[in-house]
Structure formats: C-alpha cells, structure tokens
Amino acid sequence: MAHVNRLQDARVLVFGGTSGIGFAVANLCLSQDSTVIISGSKQPKVDDKVALLRSYYPSLPADRISGLACDLADTPNLEANLTELFEKVTQGGEKKLDHISFTAGDVPKMPPLKGVNVEDTLGGFKIRFQSSVVIGKLLLTGKYVHASPSSSLTLSGGVNTTKPMPGWSFAAGFGGSVQGLTRGLAVDLKPIRVNIIEPGAIKTELWDGFASRVPGGAAEFEEMLRQKTLTGTVGLPSDTAEAYAWCMRDHFVTGTVAGTNGGSLLT
C-alpha cells in the first residue's frame, strides 16, 4: 500500500510557534496539510506570524492556520491561562488535538555556579518545566487530546543537559528536570506519547541572548559551536522541526530523548 501522510488533517498546537523552532514546526506541519494553531505570549505577534504562514500557503483554507496568545510567564494564573487556551483551540473539547509541540522558552539567568542564588534556580523552571507540568495535568482529563498512540506531546530540551558546557551546570540541572518529566508524563498520559527533543546549537532568535555571554559576541560564539560538531555547521530551525515531526509520525516512540546536534556529543 502507498505510504500514508500521518500529519494530513492532524490538529497540531505549537507553543512558541511565533519564532525559531516552533515557527519551523508550524511551517512543516502546514506543508503536510495539518491544521495548525500557534501560541505565543503576545497576540499582535501571533497575528503577524499567522499572516506570514498563510502567505506561504495561499491555496490552503484560512482556517488551516490560526493563533492565540497565552502568557506562560504569568505563574499565578498559569493553569487558568492554559485551560482557557485549550478550551478555545478545542472548542470545549469538541475538536480534540492530535499533537502538541512545546517549544516555548526564554533565556533564563544562568550565573556561574559560584554566583548562583536560590532565586536564580527557580527562574530556570518557570516556563519550560512548570508549563509542561500543567499541560500534562490538563491532558490527563482526556478532554483536549485524542487518547491514542497516534497522539503526541513533544517537549524541548537542549544538548547542554547531556554534555554540559563549563559554567552551565545550573542550566544542565533544569534541563534534566524536563527530561525526567518527559518520562514521567509518558507513563502517566499513556497511550498518548510523550517525547523530548534535545537540540544542539540551533540558530534561532534566542541565539543572541546566549551569544552575549561569550567574549567576542555572536560571530565567535557561532564559530566555537561549529567547531564542536562533526558536520562543521550549526543547525537551522527547519532541521530541528524534522525531529518534532518524527515524534508526531512515529506511533511507537515515547519516553524518548531525540537528539539533533550535528554530532556534538562525539567531539
């Protein structure tokens, strides 16, 4: 039989879909005839990115791509904000999702270990960890995502968790917490599959935030990272998006850390 496009007509929600890897995931899914909802922190930016995606696929019906803002940094109201988002994108559970990709994040304070304080440690968990926990809680209700191995939740980490750079032990720690959460959610949300993508050096809008911490700035930062890969390159969001698509398409992958890092773990 002919190979089936498993993303065709799938309903996909992308957190962090207004930039970087998330935008690339939304773009890829639209190319496969999915219905895509992107979410970001500010509605005007969401609207701009929805319009941009529509311009890439002018023949697609307008309702194939939409977007809603959700403030993941508003910790006291995080559960209420996420519940409202899920209620809207699923029309109260009437139109369940097939896949969720969580690529949202910020550049948290990452002081050297000798200068870290308790407040710094909590900041690293604010968006990536806390939001993922609440999303897991909401999916446990069975209201918003089809309870099937064809459904998935894909979280985001980073190669620094597996191979920490000097001075980045704090970042490795909160990255490891999301990895552990991924495996726990894979057990608790079964048969929905839960995985985490662990990108290496990917050139996104967050790039400058990390580059500013390196003497020599962005150019030196990029060259340093190129030298740490077997490919001699840094990754693009479109490269990494393929890893998220794999975790959506492969109905037998769950509880897995999927690396896309140019071979940097081997150098």
The candidate with the shortest Cα–Cα distance to 188, out of 126, 140, 222, is: 140
At 209 the pLDDT is: 66
At 214 the pLDDT is: 67
b/e per residue 14-32 (b: at least 16 CB within 10 A): bbbbbbbbbbbbbbbbbeb
The pLDDT of residue 208 is above 80 = no
The pLDDT of residue 108 is above 80 = no
- Give pLDDT tens digits for 66-101: 999 999 999 999 999 999 999 999 999 999 999 999
The pLDDT of residue 170 is above 80 = no
Write down the H helix ranges in the chain.
20-31, 43-56, 78-89, 118-123, 128-139, 169-188, 207-211, 217-226, 237-249
The candidate with the shortest Cα–Cα distance to 199, out of 134, 253, 265, is: 265
Instruction: Report the C-alpha gap between 19 and 38 in whole angstroms.
Output: 10
64 by DSSP, 3-state: which? Answer: helix
pTM for the whole structure: 0.94
The pLDDT of residue 61 is above 80 = yes
Q: In the predicted model, what is the mean pLDDT of the chain?
A: 93
Amino acid at 77: N
Q: What percent of the chain has pLDDT over 70?
A: 95
- Give pLDDT tens digits for 17-33: 999 999 999 999 999 99
DSSP 32: T
Instruction: Report the C-alpha gap between 50 and 66 in whole angstroms.
Output: 6
At 212 the pLDDT is: 65
If you average pLDDT over residues 200-206, what whole number do you get?
86
The pLDDT of residue 124 is above 90 = no
Instruction: Report the C-alpha gap between 1 and 182 in whole angstroms.
Output: 34
If you average pLDDT over residues 232-245, what whole number do you get?
98
Instruction: Report the C-alpha gap between 152 and 161 in whole angstroms.
Output: 23
Domains of the chain are 11-262 (3.40.50.720)
Instruction: Report the C-alpha gap between 20 and 58 in whole angstroms.
Output: 22
Instruction: Report the 10 Å Cβ neighbour count for 100.
Output: 26
- Give pLDDT tens digits for 211-230: 666 677 778 888 888 999 99
DSSP 101: E
pLDDT grade for 162, boundaries at 50, 70 and 90: very high
The pLDDT of residue 132 is above 80 = yes
